[in-house]
Amino acid sequence: MALSYSKIKVELKEILLSNRPSELYAISIKGTVPVLCINNTTVIDESLDIMKWALMQNDSNSWISYKKRIQFDIIEENDNEFKYWLDRYKYFDRFPENNRDYYRAKCGEYLIKLNQLLECNQYLLTNKLLFVDVAIFPFIRQCANVDKYWFKDTYAKLANWLNNIIESKLFVSVMDKYLEYNSEQEPLITNFNKEYIHIFPRRR
């Protein structure tokens, strides 16, 4: 979404994590996705860093500059605390030291804060989409998908926020399905208008 918003031209290479090509490891020894190869010396292999890089190239609607410190505080709590409890909520049977309700309640400590932020705004900090909304919504979506009815009933405003993003033109425009990459295929170039780079995206 950040690459599309910033109008960055990319070559997409859609992979299965169970069948990672050697090209992926040649670019990044971590072998994780997404990974963005900008040139022979610059590779970015963290989602948040890819977003930051894209917005440094073009941020026409000031996604990242508005209340920047608050945005990053929300993202930091998402990445360092919420994601920890989210994994346990999603896969509670792998963590039998507590039950699913306990893990759901721990997720709720963060979700309540987000829901309160939406009392007066369409999005988390204002009435327009920002960096923070795009950065954390995939994780909120994962949480909502565990029990959609509970999530909608408990966090109505957050559920509406999530739905607004999922139905947005930006989200829909980047969610095409692609064939698994192989080295013999023609380059799959997105129809944006900046420099040529290539990316291994996360397989959906």
For 137-187, how does the pLDDT look when each residue is reduced to its tens digit (9 = 90+)? Answer: 999 999 999 999 999 999 999 999 999 999 999 999 888 888 888 888 888
pLDDT at position 195 is 42
The predicted pLDDT at position 76 comes to 98
Task: Tell me: pLDDT of 201 over 50.
Answer: yes
C-beta contacts of 158-162 below 8 A and 24+ residues apart: 158/111, 158/114, 158/115, 158/118, 160/118, 161/114, 161/118, 161/122, 161/123, 161/124, 161/133, 161/137, 162/137
Could you read off the pLDDT of 6-50 as tens digits, one per residue? 999 888 899 898 999 888 998 888 888 899 999 888 999 999 999
The amino acid at 155: Y
Q: Is residue 191's pLDDT more than 60? A: no
In the predicted structure, residue 189 carries a pLDDT above the cut 80: no
66-118 confidence digits (pLDDT tens): 999 999 999 999 999 999 999 999 999 999 999 999 999 999 999 999 999 99
What average pLDDT does range 131-135 have in this prediction?
98
| Predicted confidence band of residue 192 (pLDDT cuts 50, 70, 90) | very low
The whole-number pLDDT of residue 179 equals 85
State both tokens at 11.
């070559």
201 against 54, higher pLDDT: 54
Strands 196-200 vs 9-12: parallel, antiparallel or unpaired: parallel
CA dist 119 → 47, 156, 161 (Å)? 29, 10, 11
pLDDT at residue 70, rounded to an integer = 97
| pLDDT level of residue 196 (50, 70, 90 thresholds) | very low
Eight-class DSSP state of 36:
E
Higher pLDDT, residue 91 or 195:
91
